[in-house]
Structure 1
Amino acid sequence: MHRLRRFWEHFEEAFIAFLLAAMTLVTFVYVVLNNLYPLFYAIGDAWEGGSALFLGIGDFLMELAQEMVWSVALTKVLFGWLIFFGIAYGVRTAGHLGVDALVKLASRPAQRLLAVIACLCCMVYAGLFMVASFKWLMALIQAGIEAEDLDQFGIHLSHIAMIVPFGFALVLIRYLEIMWRILMRGQINLGLADEAAEASKLASHHEDQH
């Protein structure tokens, strides 16, 4: 079980890195192509002896840029997948900010009780969206609607939308894990990021250096 958990955690990090890298690479190539072909056209117009060569390269690069109209749509899809996959990752790594200044003033038993209530609310929220998005996904599968600009690759809207119920299912699982740790007294809160504490640590570290 521990090995499976470690494998999944490494997969999460690798998949998020892949999405970021793919978004960057696709956008970079598209921008480079759109900025290169005008340059070759300008060189071809200015240098009469090599105009045919440079104009030909410009035509080739422009055709590649025009064929990459799908890049914007793909980048949006990758970003959407990054968001819904990253929500659960943020829960695991305390990436979501917590507003719990008043909660920390309460006693530890009261903090644990409030954490259970908050965890239940998060689980209900994730569960409702998981069920609703799954029904939406089933409707998209039945409709068989193709994705705009990505239909040439056989991609349907249902292929893109499947990340929504999957992402909320991951969030639900993460909060189930947090609930278990709270009930087993492994922690007393949701494990959210404390921006004020982080700022205080950075300020103390900066003062120590000087």
Structure 2
Amino acid sequence: MNALRRIWEHFEEGFIVFLLAAMTLVTFVYVILNNLYTVFYSLAERWTATADLFNGIGDHVMDAAQSMTWSNALTKALFGWLIFFGLSYGVRVAGHIGVDALVNLTSKSTQRLLGLIACLCCLGYAGLLSIASFEWIHTLFVASIGAEDLGHFGIMQWHIGLIVPVGFALVFIRFAEIFVRILTHRQTGLGLADEAADALKLADQEDDKK
């Protein structure tokens, strides 16, 4: 079980890196192509002896840039996948912000009880959205509608939207793990990020440097 957990956690991190890299690469290539052809046209004007060569290269680069009308749609799709896939990763690494100033004033047993209640609310929210979004994806699957600017590549709307029910299902699993850890006294609350504590740590580090 621990081996499977490590494999999944490495896959999570690798997939997030892949999405970020793909978004960056597509945007980078599109921006470069949209600014590169003017360079060749300028060179053609400067060196008239080789104007035909530079104009030809500029035309090819401009055609390549104009053919990448799909880049914006693909970037938005990748960003959507990054958001919904990253939801469960944020729960795992305590990346979501928690507001627990009043909770921390209570006893440990009360904190555990409040943690269980909060966890049940999160489980209900994630489960409800996962089921509802699955029904939405099923409707898109039946309709078989092509994605905007990506349909000619065979990418359908349900392909892009599939990450929504999957993402919330993964969030449900993460909170189910937290619920079990609270019940077994291995955790007190949801284990979310504490910005105030982080700010104090940074302040202490700055003081130590001085």
TM-score (norm 1): 0.99
Q: Per-residue CA shift, 1:134-190, capped at 9, x if unaligned?
A: 000000000000001111210000111110000000000000000000000001010
Partner of 1:180: 180
Q: Does residue 18 in structure 1 map to residue 24 in structure 2?
A: no
Partner of 1:97: 97
CA distance, structure 2, for counterparts of residue 80 and residue 90 of structure 1: 15
CA distance, structure 1, for counterparts of residue 152 and residue 64 of structure 2: 15
CA RMSD of aligned residues (A): 0.6
Q: Does residue 80 in structure 1 map to residue 80 in structure 2?
A: yes
CA distance, structure 2, for counterparts of residue 28 and residue 103 of structure 1: 46
Q: Per-residue CA shift, 1:83-139, capped at 9, x if unaligned?
A: 000000000000001011011001111111101110000010001100000000000
Aligned pairs for 1:49-198 (under 5 A) are 49-198=49-198
Query: Deviating runs (4+, > 6 A) in structure 1?
Result: none
CA distance, structure 2, for counterparts of residue 11 and residue 55 of structure 1: 46
CA distance, structure 1, for counterparts of residue 26 and residue 118 of structure 2: 40
CA distance, structure 2, for counterparts of residue 196 and residue 43 of structure 1: 56
TM-score (norm 2): 0.99
Structure 1 position 45, deviation (Å): 2.0
Structure 1 position 33, deviation (Å): 0.2
Partner of 1:35: 35
Secondary structure (helix, strand or coil) at the match of 1:101 reads coil
Structure 1 gaps of 5+ residues are none
Partner of 2:7: 7
Q: Per-residue CA shift, 1:38-73, capped at 9, x if unaligned?
A: 111122123211211111110010011011111100
Structure 2 gaps of 5+ residues are none
Identity in percent: 63
